[in-house]
Amino acid sequence: TKAEKTALVFTEWVKLIQRLDGDDETVLEFIRQMIEKGVLQDSNGFICFMKSALELSVNSFKESDPTSEVFIAIDSLSKLLIKLICLLDFKQSSREEFLSLMFSVVTLVFSEDQGRNDTSFNERPYFRLFSSLLCDWEALRGHKFVKIKDPACRKELVNFDESFYNIFASFLHVYQPIAFPGFAFAWITLLSHRMFLPRMLRLPNKAGWSKLLLLFTDLLNFMAHYTKRTETHDAVTVVYKGALRVILAVSNDVPEFLVENHYELLNNIPPIYMQLRNIILSSAPTKVVIPDPYDPNIELHDIEACQVPAAIFYDPVQDLKGLKKPVDNYLRIPSSSLMRTILSGLFRTELELDTGIGYETTNVDVKLINAITLHVGIEAALEKDRTSANAIFNTKSSYFTLFKGLITEGSTELKFHVIQAIANQLRYPNAHTLWFNYVIKNLFYSDEFEEQQHDVQEIIIRTVLERIITNKPHCWGIVVTFVDILKSDSSSLADLSFIKDVPEIELIIKNL
Partner 1 sequence: IGIDLSSVLHSLGIDSESNRRSRVLDTFQSPWVETSRCEVEPRFFVPD
Partner 2 sequence: ENPVFKNPLFSPGLAYWAQTKRPLLQPFEKMPPDMVSQLESSLLNCPDSLDADTPKLYQAPLSLPHPTSIFFPNEPIRLVSTETPEESRPARDFYSRTSLARIMSKFDLDTLFMVFYHYQGTYEQFLAAKELSNRGWQFNKINRCWLFKEVEKLPPGNEKSEEVSWRYFDYQKSWLARRCGDEFVYRQEDFEKI
Q: Find the binding residues for partner 1 in span 444-503 (CB under 8 A).
A: 469-473
Out of 11, 275, 341, 452, name the contact with partner 1 by CB under 8 A: 275
CB of 455 to partner 2, least distance (A): 32
CA 315/CA 455 separation, integer angstroms? 32
Q: CA-CA-CA-CA torsion for 233, 236, 241, 246, nearest 10 degrees?
A: 180
CB of 445 to partner 2, least distance (A): 43
Measured from the CB atom, is 154 or 228 closer to partner 2?
Answer: 228
Which residues face 227 on adjacent strands? Answer: none
CA 188/CA 243 separation, integer angstroms? 8
Please, are residues 418 and 407 in contact by the beta-carbon 8 Å criterion? yes
Mask of contacts with partner 2, 22-41, x by CB under 8 A? x-------------------
| Selected range binding partner 1 among 121-129, 196-204, 304-312, 479-487, rule: CB under 8 A | 196-204
Q: Find the binding residues for partner 1 in span 31-50 (CB under 8 A).
A: none
CB of 235 to partner 1, least distance (A): 12
Q: Find the binding residues for partner 2 in span 207-226 (CB under 8 A).
A: 225-226
CB of 322 to partner 2, least distance (A): 24
# of chain residues touching partner 2 (CB under 8 A): 59
Give yes or no for a cis peptide into 473 (omega within 30° of 0). Answer: yes
Out of 235, 311, 357, 486, name the contact with partner 2 by CB under 8 A: 235
| Residue 237 is a binding residue for partner 1 (CB under 8 A) | no
CA 288/CA 225 separation, integer angstroms? 35
Measured from the CB atom, is 268 or 282 closer to partner 1?
Answer: 282
Measured from the CB atom, is 128 or 141 closer to partner 2?
Answer: 128
| Residue 194 is a binding residue for partner 1 (CB under 8 A) | yes
Backbone phi and psi for residue 96, each to the nearest 5 degrees, phi listed first: -60, -45
Measured from the CB atom, is 117 or 286 closer to partner 1?
Answer: 286
Q: Find the binding residues for partner 1 in span 294-323 (CB under 8 A).
A: none
Measured from the CB atom, is 179 or 203 closer to partner 2?
Answer: 179
Q: Find the binding residues for partner 2 in span 44-73 (CB under 8 A).
A: 44, 47-48, 71-72
| Residue 249 is a binding residue for partner 1 (CB under 8 A) | yes
Map residue 364 onto helix, strand or coil: strand
Task: Give 330's contacts (C-beta < 8 A, 6+ positions apart).
Answer: 338, 339, 342, 398, 402
CA 26/CA 166 separation, integer angstroms? 32
| Selected range binding partner 1 among 107-115, 197-205, 363-371, 381-389, rule: CB under 8 A | 197-205
Q: Which does 274 bind (CB under 5 to 8 A by kind): partner 1, partner 2, none?
A: partner 1
- Using CA atoms, how far residue 377 sits from 7, 180, 207, 338, in Å, is 61, 39, 26, 18
Measured from the CB atom, is 109 or 338 closer to partner 2?
Answer: 109
CA 260/CA 399 separation, integer angstroms? 22
| Residue 138 is a binding residue for partner 1 (CB under 8 A) | yes
CA 487/CA 360 separation, integer angstroms? 34
| Residue 79 is a binding residue for partner 2 (CB under 8 A) | yes
Give Dmax over CA atoms of the chain in angstroms.
88
Q: What are the respective helix, strand and coil percentages of the chain, to the nearest 5?
A: 70, 0, 25
Q: Which does 469 bind (CB under 5 to 8 A by kind): partner 1, partner 2, none?
A: partner 1
| Residue 119 is a binding residue for partner 2 (CB under 8 A) | yes
| Selected range binding partner 1 among 78-86, 184-192, 321-329, 487-495, rule: CB under 8 A | 184-192
| Residue 146 is a binding residue for partner 2 (CB under 8 A) | no
CA 53/CA 7 separation, integer angstroms? 6
- How would you classify the pairing of strands 361-364 and 347-353? antiparallel
- Using CA atoms, how far residue 121 sits from 112, 116, 440, 459, in Å, is 10, 8, 53, 49
Backbone phi and psi for residue 174, each to the nearest 5 degrees, phi listed first: -60, -35
CA 459/CA 286 separation, integer angstroms? 33
Task: Specify burial of residue 170 (Cβ count, 10 A radius: 0-12, 13-18, 19+).
Answer: middle
Measured from the CB atom, is 287 or 396 closer to partner 1?
Answer: 287
| Among candidate residues 8, 105, 1, 9, the one with its CA nearest the CA of residue 51 | 105
CA 220/CA 214 separation, integer angstroms? 10
| Residue 197 is a binding residue for partner 2 (CB under 8 A) | no
Residue type for position 98: F
Q: Using CB under 8 A, list all residues that contact partner 1.
A: 138, 142-143, 147, 188-189, 192-195, 197-198, 201, 238, 241-246, 248-250, 252-254, 274-276, 278, 286, 469-473
Q: Using CB under 8 A, list all residues that contact partner 2.
A: 17-22, 44, 47-48, 71-72, 75-76, 78-79, 107-112, 114-116, 118-124, 127-128, 131-132, 135-136, 139, 176, 178-186, 189, 193-194, 225-226, 228, 233, 235-236, 238, 353
